Amino acid sequence: MRPAGVIPESRQARRFADYLRTQGIAARLGPAREGWTVWVIEEEALPRARDELASFCREPGAARFAVPREAVRIRPETRRREATAAALPRAPAWWAWTLSSPTPLTWALLLLAAVAALMTRLGDPAAPLLTRLLPAASGLSAGAPGPWLTPVIVHSGPLHLLFVAATWPELARRFEARRGTLALAAAVIGFGLLGNVVQTMYFGTACIGLSTPVFGLLGLAAAERRGGAAREAEVVLAAAWLGACLLGLVGPVGGAAHLAALAGGAIVGTVAARLRAPD
C-alpha cells in the first residue's frame, strides 16, 4: 500500500476515492497534517492513481469525477480487497512528524527566526548581529541581494514575533505542502525582496520579519479559492496587525512592505489561477 498524494478537504478526498473505485483502483483514506492521504492498495495502480489525482487537483469539479452512485454499488467488493491489505501506517508522534515533515522549510525558517530573535535581543539596535542583518545599518548597497533578504529573520519585540508564530506556520505549511519547498523558498525570497525594496524606497529603512512573506502568502491564499484558501482567523489577524503597523503601534515593522507583499501575492495568485483554469 502506497500513498498517491494528499487532498486537503475531506469531502473532496472521499469524492476522489469513490472515483478511483469506479476505475478499478482500490484506495483508502488516512488522516494527514495537510488533510487526507489517498492510499492505493495495489502498488501497480499507483502511477495511474497519481495521474488521476493530478487531474483531480487541476479540475476537481469535472463531471467525470462525479460518480458517487457507481462507487456505492461497487464499494462492498473493494472493501473485501482492502481488507486483505496491510493496515494504514500509524501517524508518527509529533516530534517524529516534525523531523520528517514534507514542509521542512516552514519549520526551518521559524526556528531561524527564533534563534535570530535571541541573538539580536528581539531587534535591539545595540545588538552587534543586527548591523550585519539590516542593509540600512550595514551601509551595503542596493546591488547586493543578500542583505535585502536577511531582515526577514529579524523581529522587533515580542508582539511581532507572536504574530509571526500565530500566522506563519499554518500559511507556510499549507503552501509548501501543496506547491513544494522550492515554491515556498521562491515566495519568501520574492516577497522579502519586494517588501524591503518598497519600504526602503519610501521610508529609508528595511522591513524586518517573516510578517512580510506572511502577507505575500495571504495574498496568494486569497486568490487560491481551493484547499489553500485563506482562513477567516488568518485574515482577521493580518488585518489587525497591518492596522497596528500603519498606526505605528508596533515599532519599525513596515506597513508599506506588508501592503506591497499582499498586493504582489494577490496578483501572482490571480495570474496563476487563470493559467491553471481549463479553457
pLDDT above 80 (res 130): no
pLDDT above 90 (res 61): no
Segment 243-276, tens digit of pLDDT: 877 776 766 567 788 889 999 999 998 888 777 6
- pLDDT of 74 reads 54
Better-predicted residue by pLDDT, 101 or 28: 28
Q: Residue 180: count other Cβ atoms within 10 Å of its Cβ.
A: 14
- pLDDT of 12 reads 87
Which amino acid, 60? P
Grid coordinates representing 109 are: 525558517
CATH fold group of domain 2-83: Alpha-Beta Plaits (3.30.70)
Segment 190-235, tens digit of pLDDT: 998 888 888 878 776 666 778 889 999 998 888 875 545 567 777 8
Helix or strand holding residue 4 (H, E): strand 2-7
Phi-psi region of 252 (alpha: psi -120 to 50; beta: other; left: phi over 0): beta
* 3 φ/ψ angles, rounded to the nearest 5 degrees: -80, 135
Nearest CA-CA partner of 192 in 251, 254, 252? 254
Report field, pTM of the whole predicted structure over 0.95: no
- pLDDT of 30 reads 84
How far apart, in whole angstroms, are the C-alpha atoms of residue 278 and residue 133?
Answer: 44
What percent of the chain is helix, strand and coil (3-state, nearest 5)?
Answer: 65, 5, 30
Q: Are 155 and 208 in contact (CB under 8 A)?
A: yes
The owner of cell 526551518 is 108
How far apart, in whole angstroms, are the C-alpha atoms of residue 213 and residue 40?
Answer: 36
Ordered DSSP codes for 243-268: HHHHTT-SSS--HHHHHHHHHHHHHH
pLDDT above 80 (res 79): no
What average pLDDT does this structure show over 122-145? 56
Domain 94-276 has CATH 3.10.450.230: no
The ranges assigned to domains in the chain are 2-83, 94-276
